[in-house]
Structure formats: structure tokens, C-alpha cells
């Protein structure tokens, strides 16, 4: 059975082009030009990944992403304007797993889709294989099978990417893990740029949810010029 991809973009040429490329890779595609119609589809069908444009005529992509995250954990990739850095940060903060700036090459989108689906499937497979695995440290508990994170018994609502980052840092507790290592470990993708701040934004959002700070961290510490660690 093919993976099901949701495309939401009010620019018909872009949506149609992405549909052609993704269908050529044997994905099932649900394409919409408006957010409300896409949200109805998410509620009625099983979706494996969503591509959401930020600018939509009825609701913005951020709101749509938030509504999806209320009930679903499948990967979300935001499509943002090239010059809007805040769009990228906002999208990741609201639960998106990745972003792609316009204009983009369709083959890059296909590659990112494949990388996100690989990560998501690996996580689900690992969760099934590690039914009883729990990682704990100083009041922080990760239940791998349930995809549940608790801090001092309070549940933290984490996206799959945030959960993966925290899991990796806890599994390598005491060791520094670079942003590049985290990127490759999570996405298994060769594409990484020193200007890519995806991991930085996810780390910042994790700290906010954990009520931690970069200046006086209790959990995630920054080793400047090297990476991150928990100790």
C-alpha cells in the first residue's frame, strides 16, 4: 500500500507540479487549495505526511498545522517564502518537522518527503520493538512505546522530531552530540548546511516546553561550537 501525501497550496501550478512528481514515486496524493478542505480530509482519511503552504486563502498553514497536531503525529513539512525566516521558526515551533523554501526544486521536495517518511516509519518500528523501554533522568521520563514524555510526572506534548532529539541526547547522556549528527540521525539524509537552523529551533522549543533555559540549563546544555548534551 502506497504512502498517502497531503498537499495544501493555493498556487495551483505548484500543487499540481508536486502532485505529478509525488505520484511518479507511487505515492497516493490528496491535493487541496484551501485549508478547511484539507483539514476535513485529514479527519476522514489516513495521512502519512503533509506538505502545507504558509499562505492559504481561508486559514494560514500555521493554524492548519496546529489543528493537525491536536490529533495526529505524522510528519508535516511547511512550504515557506524564501525571505521569511520567521515563517520557518514559527512552523517548527507549532509542530512542523521540516520546512522547504520557495522557489524549490520538485526533486528536493521528493527527497525531503522520503527522508521524513523513513524517520517516521523507523520510529514506529522501533516503538513496536521496544515495548517496555523507558528512559529516565532527573525527573524526565521517555516511554518509547507510548511516545510519551513526562517531566516531574507532567506530560509534555512533543512532536516526533522533538521526541527523537530528546531520545538521542538521553541515550548518549554525558556525550556531546552535534547539530549535524542529530540531523543525520533523525532524517538519515545527506543534505545538511551549516546555515540550517532546523535543529537549533527544535532545541529551543524543547527547552521552552521543559521550562529550561540556554543560559542556566538543567537538562539540554549547549557546548558552543560543538553541539548539545544532557548530563
DSSP states of the chain: ---EEEEE-S-HHHHHHHHHHHHHTT-EEEEESSHHHHHHHHHHS--SEEEEES--SSS-HHHHHHHHHTT--S-EEEEEETT-HHHHHHHHHTT-SEEEEES--HHHHHHHHHHHHHHHHHHHHHHHHTTT-EEEETTEEEETTTTEEEETTEEE---HHHHHHHHHHHHTTTS-B-HHHHHHHHH--S---TT--HHHHHHHHHHHHTT--SSS-SSEEEETTTEEEE-
Do 77 and 69 meet the contact criterion of CB atoms below 8 Å apart? no
Mean pLDDT confidence for 101-105: 88
Flag whether pLDDT at 180 surpasses 90.
Answer: no
Would you state the pLDDT for residue 121?
Answer: 77
| List of residues 6+ apart from 25 with CB closer than 8 A | 110, 114
Q: Report the C-alpha dihedral over residues 178, 181, 186, 187, rounded to 10 degrees.
A: 130
Q: For the chain, state the CA radius of gyration.
A: 18
Do 6 and 41 meet the contact criterion of CB atoms below 8 Å apart? yes
Would you state the pLDDT for residue 5?
Answer: 97
Would you state the pLDDT for residue 32?
Answer: 96
Would you state the pLDDT for residue 215?
Answer: 84
- Cell (9 digits) for 121: 516509519
Q: Which of the four pLDDT bands, split at 50, 70 and 90, describes residue 6?
A: very high
pTM over 0.85: no
Nearest CA to 142 out of 167, 125, 172 is that of: 167
Flag whether pLDDT at 77 surpasses 90.
Answer: yes
Would you state the pLDDT for residue 93?
Answer: 72
- Cell (9 digits) for 9: 497550496
Would you state the pLDDT for residue 195?
Answer: 56
Rounded CA-CA distance 20/15 in Å is 9
Q: Which of the four pLDDT bands, split at 50, 70 and 90, describes residue 103?
A: confident
Flag whether pLDDT at 130 surpasses 60.
Answer: no
Q: Which of the four pLDDT bands, split at 50, 70 and 90, describes residue 96?
A: confident
Of 35-44, 128-137, 211-220, which has the strongest mean pLDDT? 35-44
What are the CA-CA distances from residue 59 to residues 33, 74, 76, 111, 137 (Å)? 11, 20, 16, 27, 40
Flag whether pLDDT at 109 surpasses 80.
Answer: yes
Which is it for strands 134-137 and 140-143: parallel, antiparallel or unpaired?
antiparallel
Would you state the pLDDT for residue 22?
Answer: 96
**Phi, psi (degrees; rounded to nearest 5) at 175:** -105, 150
Over the stretch 161-173, which tens digit does the pLDDT of each residue have? Answer: 889 999 999 988 8
Would you state the pLDDT for residue 88?
Answer: 64
Flag whether pLDDT at 194 surpasses 80.
Answer: no
Average pLDDT, the chain: 85
For 138, half-sphere exposure in the C-beta direction (CA atoms, 13 angstrom radius) is 9
Amino acid at each position: 500500500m502506497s504512502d498517502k501525501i497531503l498537499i495544501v497550496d493555493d498556487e495551483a501550478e505548484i500543487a499540481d507540479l508536486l502532485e505529478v512528481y509525488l505520484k511518479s514515486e507511487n505515492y497516493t496524493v490528496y491535493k487541496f487549495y484551501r485549508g478547511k478542505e484539507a483539514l476535513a480530509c485529514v479527519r476522514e482519511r489516513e495521512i502519512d505526511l503533509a506538505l502545507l503552504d504558509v499562505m492559504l486563502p481561508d486559514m494560514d498553514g500555521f493554524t492548519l498545522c496546529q489543528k493537525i497536531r491536536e490529533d495526529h503525529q505524522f510528519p508535516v513539512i511547511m512550504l515557506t517564502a524564501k525571505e521569511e525566516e520567521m515563517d520557518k521558526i514559527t512552523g517548527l515551533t507549532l509542530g512542523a518537522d521540516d520546512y522547504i523554501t520557495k522557489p524549490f526544486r520538485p526533486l528536493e521536495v521528493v527527497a525531503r518527503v522520503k527522508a521524513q517518511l523513513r524517520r517516521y516509519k523507523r520510529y514506529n518500528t522501533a516503538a513496536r520493538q521496544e515495548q517496555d523501554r523507558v528512559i529516565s533522568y532527573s525527573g524526565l521520563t521517555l516511554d518509547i512505546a507510548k511516545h510519551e514524555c513526562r517531566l516531574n510526572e507532567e506530560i509534555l506534548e512533543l512532536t516526533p522530531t522533538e521526541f527523537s532529539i530528546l531520545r538521542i541526547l538521553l541515550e548518549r547522556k554525558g556525550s556531546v552530540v552535534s547539530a549535524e549528527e542529530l540531523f543525520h540521525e533523525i532524517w538519515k539524509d545527506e543534505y545538511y548546511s551549516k546555515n540550517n537552523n532546523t535543529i537549533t529551533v527544535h532545541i529551543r522549543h524543547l527547552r521552552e516546553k521543559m521550562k529550561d533555559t540556554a543560559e542556566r540549563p538543567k537538562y539540554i546544555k549547549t557546548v558552543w561550537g560543538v553541539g548539545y548534551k544532557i548530563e
